[in-house]
Amino acid sequence: MKSKDLRNVVLLKYENGDRPSKIFHDLAGAISLRTIWRWIKMIKDTGAIDLSTPPGRTRTARTTGNIKKVKQRIMRRKRSSGRKIARDLAVSQTSVRRILHEDLGLFPYKIIKEPAITEIQKEQRMKFVNWVKNNFNNDDIKRWLFSDEKLFDFDGVYNVQNDRIWAANRQEADAKGGIKKKHKLPTKVMVWLGACRNGLTTPVILDNGTVNHEKYIEQVLPVALKCGNEMMGSD
């Protein structure tokens, strides 16, 4: 049904005494309930539904030209921020945000880090998954111990985006711990930890360099065996 036909139907049904909710229900969602309310207001004010001019005040920033410029900017520079786009186009950040969200249907997403693996490695992993699926059942998997190692440094970590110090000025913020000092060559340790459906193993701290097979056999495997037997049984 065309827009003009819809307007005629809404006008006729309203003149027959139908309420907006009933009109919306009868039209099966062809137009929104908000639009029906707006059209009825026009009928009350002017006696007709006049769509010759768009509702609301005239746009000054979200013009067709600016929408096109923002779209072209995003296509050229995929990492452009709304703040930079607003500065370059001399419009407000709010207008740019509305152009991106409402006019272009775009939303910001953080870049995700993932291991750089080759197609061959992906294929090998898929083969392993299928092998596990075909050769083991749920009871077998319940007795598996998964493990991993992680390198930590004594400087610790902090989130540049979310960690904030509330203060009246920079000097006060610094006095409250607003400075995170980083050493050029911080001391690092390797930590091993195992996990199964029944819990976690005792962590193993390997503080003398990287993990080789000898260190793994001497320091890690005894802990894995002991904790695994305690959590899953030794049979």
> Is 184 within a domain?
yes
Q: How many domains does the chain have?
A: 3
> Is 129 within a domain?
no
Final residue of a domain: which of 103, 127, 152?
103
40 and 75 inside one domain: no
The one-letter amino acid code at 122 reads K
41 and 83 inside one domain: no
37 and 92 inside one domain: no
82 and 15 inside one domain: no
> Is 133 within a domain?
no
156 and 224 inside one domain: yes
* Top-confidence range, 109-113, 121-125, 152-156, 186-190: 121-125
215 and 159 inside one domain: yes
> Is 7 within a domain?
yes
71 and 153 inside one domain: no
Query: What is the SS3 assignment for 157?
Result: coil
Tell me the percentage of the chain whose pLDDT exceeds 70. Answer: 91
Q: Tell me: the pLDDT tens digits for 129-180?
A: 999 999 999 888 888 999 999 888 888 777 777 777 877 888 988 888 888 8
pLDDT confidence band for 202 (50 / 70 / 90): very high
Query: What is the SS3 assignment for 125?
Result: helix
Distance between CA 230 and CA 98 in Å, rounded?
Answer: 58
> Is 195 within a domain?
yes
**pTM, 2 dp:** 0.48
Q: Which helix (H) or strand (E) holds 196?
A: strand 188-196
226 and 142 inside one domain: yes
94 and 151 inside one domain: no
Q: Please check whether residue 43 is in contact with residue 11, taking contact to mean a CB–CB distance below 8 angstroms.
A: yes
Q: Please check whether residue 223 is in contact with residue 202, taking contact to mean a CB–CB distance below 8 angstroms.
A: yes
Q: At 197, list the tokens.
A: 């459906």
Q: Tell me: the pLDDT tens digits for 14-56?
A: 888 888 888 888 888 788 888 888 888 888 777 777 766 555 5
142 and 228 inside one domain: yes
> Is 131 within a domain?
no
217 and 147 inside one domain: yes
> Is 14 within a domain?
yes
149 and 194 inside one domain: yes
> Is 186 within a domain?
yes
Q: Which domain holds residue 95?
A: 64-103
Burial class from Cβ neighbours inside 10 Å (0-12, 13-18, 19+) for residue 30 reads: middle
Beta strands 188-196; 146-153: pairing state: antiparallel
- Helix 64-76 × helix 82-89 angle, to 10°: 130
